[in-house]
Structure 1
Amino acid sequence: MTFDDAALTIAASGRHMDAKGWVPATAGNISIRLGPEDIAITRSGRHKGQMVPADVMLVDGDGASREAGARPSYETLLHCGIYRRFVEAGAVLHGHSIANTVLSRRAGASIRLAGYELLKAFPGGPTHDTVVDLPVLDNDQDIPRLQRAVDALWDDAPDAPPGYVIRGHGVYVWGADMHAAMTRLEALEFMLLCHLEEGRHSR
C-alpha cells in the first residue's frame, strides 16, 4: 500500500468512527503500517469526522515524524508498541466510545465478555461459546511509561486479545489490515454496549 492509499483509508476510517460516535471532538487516532519502519498516522488535534488525506502523516518505527515541523498523534508510541510486538498487525484503531469509557472506569484489571456471538471476531474460538478478558490499564499521560505497562501486560499474558482499554480513556484494537481492525472494533463496541446495557437494566 502506498502512503496516498493509506491516507485515503485512514481518513475514511476516521469519518466512519465519527459517525458511530466513537471519536468525539479530536479524540482517537488511526494508523496503518506501510513497512518495517514506516507508519501512516493521524496528525495531532484533527477531528476524525472531518478528516481528509492531508490530516495523515508519516512517522518511523519509533514514532518520530518524517515530516519537518509536523506533530503526529500524542499517542503515536502506543501504535508503535503494537507494531513492534505483533508482526502481523497492519492497522491500529483507537476510539473513545461511551461504552468503553464507562465500563473501564468501573472495571478491575479486565472486562469479561462471554457468550456473545460476535466474540468470533477475536481469536480463541469459532463460536459464541468462549470468553474474552479485555485488559484494562490505568490511564497515564506519560505515554512511554504507559507503553511499558502495556509491554508488561503482554509479557505476562502473551495470549491476551488483540485489544485493550485505557481506564476512562478509550480502546485500542488492531488487525492485519484496516478492514480486519475495523471489524474487530465494531464487534467489540457492540459487545461493550450490550454489557453496559445489561448492567443498567440489572440494577
Structure 2
Amino acid sequence: MRVNPVPATPLSDAVREIVEVGRFLSVRNFVPATSGNFSRRLDARTAAVTRSGVDKGELVEADVLVADLHAPPPEGASAETPLHLQLYRDRPDAHAVLHTHSVVSALLSNLRLAEGELVLQGFELLKALGDTRTHEAAVSIPIFPNDQDIPRLASKVTALLEQRPELVAYLIAGHGLYTWGRSMAEARRHVVALEHLLTYELEKMKVLR
C-alpha cells in the first residue's frame, strides 16, 4: 500500500503557529506559569518543540527548538518532549501536539484515575473532536498515572494508541491534557473543546453527588 509523504512545513511557519497558540492558551489560563509544552511537525523526520522553563504566553523564536523524531530531544527541550515525538511516530497524520495544565484537567484526571478513562457522551460539543459527527457518540479520554520516567510513559501511550486509533487525547493524572490534530488549528480546537467538556463533566459530578 502506498503511503502518502508528509508535507513539509517551514520552520518559520511552525514557530509562528506555536507562538500564536501559546498566547491563545495562556490568556485562558490553560498553561499557568511555565507549564505545558507545544510542538508542530515539520516533516516526516523532524518537529519544532518548545523550550523548557518558559512562559508559553511569552514565547519568542528562540524558545522553539528542532527535534529529530528518532533521536534524543535537543538540549533545553522539555523533559516531556519524548511524548510529543512518540505521537508523531505513532500518528503520521498528527501535525501538532498541545499539552496543557488547566485546573480542571489536573483535578478531574486525579478524581477519575481509578477508572482509567473518562467517557464523554451526550454533549453537543463532542462534534468538535476529530471525526465525531454526533452528540450521541461516546468519546473516551484515557487517564494515565503521572510518571517521571517519560520513556516508560510514552511506551504505555504507544501501546494504547495501537489499539485505539480513534483517540484524540489523553490525560495524565494530576498533571494535564495531551491532544493532537491534523493541523495546529485542529489541535487548538481540541484543547478548547476538551477543556469545556471536562468542566461539564466536573459540574455533572457535583450535581449528582
Q: CA, structure 1 residues 128+52, in 2 after alignment: closer, same or farther (shift >3 Å)? A: same
CA positional deviation for 1:55: 1.0
The RMSD of aligned alpha carbons is 1.4
CA distance in 2, matches of 1:154, 1:64: 21
Q: CA, structure 1 residues 181+63, in 2 after alignment: closer, same or farther (shift >3 Å)? A: farther
Q: What's 2:126 paired with?
A: 119
TM-score in terms of structure 2 length: 0.90
Of the candidates 90, 94, 109, which is equivalent to residue 95 of structure 2? 90
Q: What's 1:173 paired with?
A: 179
Q: What letter matches 2:11 in structure 1?
A: F
Is 1:104 the counterpart of 2:112? The answer is no
SS where residue 42 of structure 2 aligns?
strand
CA positional deviation for 1:125: 3.6
Q: What's 1:152 paired with?
A: 159
SS where residue 157 of structure 2 aligns?
helix
Is 1:129 the counterpart of 2:174? The answer is no
CA distance in 1, matches of 2:25, 2:58: 11
CA distance in 1, matches of 2:180, 2:170: 10
Structure 1: state its 5+ residue gaps.
none
Is 1:14 the counterpart of 2:22? The answer is yes
CA distance in 2, matches of 1:121, 1:151: 24
8 A contact 1:88–1:176 mirrored in 2 = yes
CA distance in 2, matches of 1:188, 1:196: 12
CA distance in 2, matches of 1:177, 1:125: 16
Structure 2: state its 5+ residue gaps.
1-8
TM-score in terms of structure 1 length: 0.93
CA distance in 1, matches of 2:12, 2:93: 22
Q: What's 2:146 paired with?
A: 139
Map residues 36-51 of structure 1 onto 2, 5 A cutoff. Answer: 36-51=44-59
SS where residue 58 of structure 1 aligns?
strand
Q: How many residues align?
A: 199
CA positional deviation for 1:123: 4.0
CA distance in 2, matches of 1:179, 1:35: 17
Q: What's 1:188 paired with?
A: 194
Is 1:61 the counterpart of 2:69? The answer is yes
SS where residue 99 of structure 2 aligns?
strand
Is 1:35 the counterpart of 2:43? The answer is yes
Q: What letter matches 1:58 in structure 2?
A: V
8 A contact 1:63–1:76 mirrored in 2 = no
What percent of counterpart residues are identical? 41
Q: What's 1:4 paired with?
A: 12
SS where residue 35 of structure 1 aligns?
coil
